[in-house]
Amino acid sequence: MKSVIVYESMFGNTDHIAHEIAHGLAHSGNHTMVADVREVGPTDLAGSDLVVVGAPTHAFSLSRPSTREDAVRQGADPSHAAFGVREWLVTLDAAFPVKAARPQVAVFDTRVEKVRRLPGSAAKRAAKVLRAHGFEVVDRPTSFYVADVQGPTVPGEFDRAHAWGTRLFELVQRQRDRDAS
């Protein structure tokens, strides 16, 4: 099985979670590639069984150029501001023109712990966009928590991310086994 994890990260928190998810997938015998959204293209996704998409929650949704610029004003690397998951999602139709050949997808986000119960998240928005474009989302959108805008990641979230990666492998493998029978 081949998985690709595509993430957007302004302060490094989503990046760290993406790599922990990858460890959970790889632990299960899966070939996993982890890529920053600014560096992944359609050829990187070719032949994948699972694409995991992760982004930080900005203003209760996926980031926009204006919210990324706000993150830069708070200390994020300016090179991360030009392009994010919101813009990348619209490129997927070109990467997978045949709907039957599309991989399954899963989505996650990072968000500040103090707004844990507020509505809206980058993962929920990404799942909605992906479903509208004909992708099957294999698990509910999942949030991982950081202590504050710049982090750090809340204790226990790396373990949770690793376990979620293992769960994703099991969900996709189960579906592959059903399709084969």
The CATH H-level (homologous superfamily) assignment of domain 2-180 is Flavodoxin domain (3.40.50.360)
**Tens-level pLDDT at each residue, the chain (181 residues):** 899 999 999 999 999 999 999 999 997 678 999 999 999 988 899 899 999 999 999 999 999 999 999 999 999 999 999 999 999 999 998 888 888 789 999 999 999 998 777 788 999 999 999 999 999 999 999 999 999 999 999 999 999 999 999 999 999 998 888 888 8
Domain boundaries of the chain, sorted by first residue: 2-180
Tokens of 68: 């990324």
Q: Kindly give the interhelix angle for 13-27 and 157-180, rounded to the nearest 10 degrees.
A: 50
pTM to 2 decimal places = 0.95
Q: Which residue has the tokens 């996926």?
A: 62
Please state whether beta strands 31-36 and 50-56 pair in parallel, antiparallel, or not at all (unpaired): unpaired
